[in-house]
Chains A and B, each alone.
Chain A
Amino acid sequence: MIVRLLVAIYVLLALGFDAEPAAAAESPALRAARVTGSSGAMADPDAAYWKSARAIKIATQPQIVVAPHAPAPAVAELSVKAAHNGQWITFLVEWADPTKSDRIVVDRFGDQVAVELPVKYEKDSPPSVMMGTPDGRVTIMQWRAAFQRDLDEGEPGIKDLYPFTHVDVYPDEVLRASDARAYMGSVGVDNPISHPKRAPVLDQMAEGWGTLTVKPEQNASGKGVWRNGRWRVVITRPLATDNNEYDPKLAPGDQTVAAFAVWDGGNAEVGGRKAWSEWVTLTIAK
C-alpha cells in the first residue's frame, strides 16, 4: 500500500503532475444535473437532456505504472457529461477514434471505455485511482464495443470470423447440455467476459492491480454509438444499491470522485495497456 502510494507519487512527479491529491487539480469538476427520464433514457446517448448538459474535457495519460505498459495510447482526451434522475447516475463519454474496433480475434482488440467510482468516498482521501486497494475498493463500469455489436447484430459464430471454416460437429450438438459444458472453456464456467448479459457494460469491482472482478449482480447499463470517427458512449448505474461492500451509495447532493479509462482496440490496447485519468470531482445535483 505504502509502496504503491510512493510509486504513484513518483510516477506523478516523473510525469510532471502535481504530487498533491490529484482530484480536480487538472480537470474541472464534473456535475451531474438532475434530469427527468426513465432508467431506459438514462442509458441513451441520444437522449434530449444531453444537449443542455455541460461537457468537461478530461485528460488521459499512458498507463506506465504497472506492467504491461501502454507508453503510447491513442486517446489523450475524453469529453464527459454526467446526469442523474434521482435513481440512476449516467455518464456520456465521447472521444475521437477514426477506426471502429468491435470484432475480436487473436490480433484484433475492441474499443472500450470505463468509469471508476470509489465504493466509499471520504473527502480529500479518495482510494487509489489505480484500481483501488483492499481498504479502498472501487467500482468500475466498463463498456465494450464488442459487446455492443453482439447485442446490436448478434454474437459472431465461427463463420462470421472465418467464412471458409469447415466444422463437422460440435460437442454441444451431440451431447446433453450438462455434458457439453466441459468442452466450452470459459463459456462452460460462465465467465462473464465471454458473452454480454443484458447490457454492453460490465459492473465490476477492484481492490488492487490484477483484482478486477465482475460482480455477481450486474447493475450497470449503457450504450455506445460510433458516428463519423467518434464514439459516444453512455454508462449508467443506480446511485445506490443494497450492497455496500461493492457498490457506491450515492444520493442527490453528494460529492464524490470519478475517473475514466479508455482503450483503442485498433492500437492493441487491452487490460493495463490503456489511457487513464486522475480522479475528477463529481457533484450530484440536489
Chain B
Amino acid sequence: MAKVYNWQIGREMEYPYDGIRPKRQFAMVMDLNKCIACQTCTVACKTTWTPGRGQEYMFWNNVETKPYGYYPLGWDVKILDKLGVQEIDAAVYPGKTLFDAAPDGETVLGYLPDDLDYAHPNIGEDDSAGVMGQGAFLDVPHMNWMYYMPRICNHCTYPACLAACPRQSIYKRPEDGIVLIDQARCRGYRECVRGCPYKKTYFNALNRTSEKCIGCYPAVENGRQTQCTVTCIGKIRLQGFITTPDKAREDSPLDYLVHIAKIAKPLYPQFGLEPNVYYIPPVHVPIAFLKQMFGRGVAEAIAAYRKAADDKKLLGALLLFGASPEIIHHYRVEGDVTIGYDETKREIVRVPLKEPVYVRNTYDQRHQTYRTNVT
C-alpha cells in the first residue's frame, strides 16, 4: 500500500497505487436545489451509451429521491452500515476510509449487490422523510423533506473500482482523470462492482464483463460537456475540470465553487475515494443528514448559497450552469454580466446576472386581445 494525500479528508491515506494525479481532473458540480428528477439526464445517457444488449437495467446516470430512493437498492446505507459510525467533524478525518476498513485479503471494504437490487431503478421516488398526517396541506416551509439526487460515476482521484480490480483492467486517464474499464481486458470478476461504494460500475450479464460511465470522453476530448450536463433542462449541472485546493484558480468556475466559495461538496468524502462530482446541498434538509452525505462544512455552504444574490462572483459561477454546451475553463464577472471562456480564453458565453424583465400591456392593441403576463 502506498500513502496518498486526499484533500477531502485532510490527510494521507493508504491506497494500493502511488498518488499520481492526472494532468487535469474531470469534475462536475450539481445544484441539488434545482433538480426536479425529470430524468432527462438519465434518458440522454441511456440513449447515448447504454441502449445495447445486456444494458437493459444499467443506468450510468440515475436520479434518485433521497432519503429513501436508491439505485441499486440501499447502495449507500448498506456501505455506511458496514463502515460503521465514524467521526466526520474534524478538518483531518480521524475515522476509517473504505481502504483502512478493508478486511484481510481484500483491497477495499465493499459488498456485491443482489441482482434484484437493480430491478427498481426509481424505487422510493418522491417519498419524503416522514409521514404526512391526515388532512395535511402544502405549506412553506414544507413539513417534511426529500430531495432529488442525480448520480454519475465520480471519476474518483482514488477509485475503489480501480483498486479492487486484480487485473488492472481499470485505468484513470492521465489526460483528464476519467476512469475507464478496458473492455478487452475485463474478465467479469465483479471485484469493481463489489468495491465501488457508489455502485457505479455495472455488470453486463450478456457480455459477462463490467461497464461504467465513461465521462462522455469523446465529448470532453472535443471541449464539450457531458450529455447529462448539456441536456439538463433545469441547468443544475456544470462540468469541467478541477484542481486541488492548493492550486485553486479563482477564474475557474469549478474551482471557485468547490475550493473558494466552498458551496459544493463531495459525496461521502469519508469513504476516502476523493470523488469528483460535487453537490450543492439542498437548503431545506437537516444538517445532520447532509453532513453524513457530504461531509463537514455543509451548513456554511448553505449559508453562502443563500446569500449568492449578493455575491457577484459566486452568482456569476452559478449562472454558467447550463449556459453553454462547451466546457468553461475560465470566467469573469464584468458589470452585471458573467462571461465564460474556453481553454484558449475565447469567449463562449455571456449571461446577465439578473434576468431582464419585460412587461407587456394587458391589452394588445394590434391583435385586439388581452394578454396575461407569466414568468
Q: Flag if A183 contacts B52 (CB, 8 Å).
A: yes
Which one of A15-23, A33-41, A65-73, A215-223 is at the B interface? Answer: A65-73
Q: Is the interface of A mostly helix, strand, loop or mixed?
A: loop
A106 at interface (Cβ–Cβ under 8 A)?
yes
How far does the Cβ of B46 sit from chain A's closest Cβ, in whole Å?
12
Contacting residues, chain B, for A66 (C-beta < 8 A): 166
Q: Flag if B183 contacts A271 (CB, 8 Å).
A: no
Contacting residues, chain A, for B347 (C-beta < 8 A): none
Interface residues of A in 250-271 (CB under 8 A from B): 268, 270-271
Q: Flag if A194 contacts B166 (CB, 8 Å).
A: no
Q: Flag if B166 contacts A209 (CB, 8 Å).
A: yes
Which one of B27-35, B206-214, B288-296 is at the A interface? Answer: B206-214
A169 to B183, CA, bound (A): 23
Which one of A84-92, A116-124, A153-161 is at the B interface? Answer: A153-161
How far does the Cβ of A173 sit from chain B's closest Cβ, in whole Å?
10
Contacting residues, chain B, for A107 (C-beta < 8 A): 112-115
Which partner residue on chain B sits nearest A191 by CB separation?
B184
Q: Flag if A185 contacts B112 (CB, 8 Å).
A: no
Q: Flag if B190 contacts A270 (CB, 8 Å).
A: yes
Contacting residues, chain A, for B208 (C-beta < 8 A): 104, 146, 186, 193-194
Interface residues of B in 132-163 (CB under 8 A from A): none
B168 at interface (Cβ–Cβ under 8 A)?
yes
Q: Flag if A68 contacts B166 (CB, 8 Å).
A: yes
We find that the number of chain B residues with CB closer than 8 angstroms to chain A is 38
Q: Flag if A106 contacts B193 (CB, 8 Å).
A: yes
Contacting residues, chain B, for A190 (C-beta < 8 A): 184
Knowing A146-B208, A191-B209 touch, does A272 contact B166 (C-beta < 8 A)? yes
Which partner residue on chain B sits nearest A147 by CB separation?
B208
Query: How many A residues touch the partner, as a band?
Result: 35 or more
Which partner residue on chain A sits nearest B169 by CB separation?
A210
Contacting residues, chain A, for B188 (C-beta < 8 A): 104, 193, 270
Knowing A106-B113, A271-B189, A272-B166 touch, does A157 contact B106 (C-beta < 8 A)? no
How far does the Cβ of B119 sit from chain A's closest Cβ, in whole Å?
9
Q: Flag if A184 contacts B53 (CB, 8 Å).
A: yes
- Among candidates A67, A105, A146, residue contacting B106 with C-beta atoms closer than 8 Å: A67
Contacting residues, chain B, for A172 (C-beta < 8 A): 52-53
Q: Flag if A106 contacts B115 (CB, 8 Å).
A: yes
A183 to B188, CA, bound (A): 18
Knowing A186-B184, A189-B183 touch, does A170 contact B52 (C-beta < 8 A)? yes
Q: Flag if A167 contacts B56 (CB, 8 Å).
A: yes
Extra contacts, 7 of them, besides A184-B53, A185-B183 (Cβ < 8 A), are: A67-B105, A105-B205, A185-B207, A186-B208, A187-B53, A187-B207, A212-B167
The interface of chain A, by Cβ under 8 A from chain B, is 64, 66-69, 71, 104-108, 146, 156-158, 161-162, 165, 167, 169-172, 183-191, 193-194, 209-210, 212, 268, 270-272
For the complex of A and B, 5 pairs with smallest distance between CB atoms:
A69-B105, A271-B189, A186-B209, A183-B52, A106-B203
The interface of chain B, by Cβ under 8 A from chain A, is 51-57, 104-107, 112-115, 118, 164, 166-168, 183-184, 186-191, 193, 202-209, 211
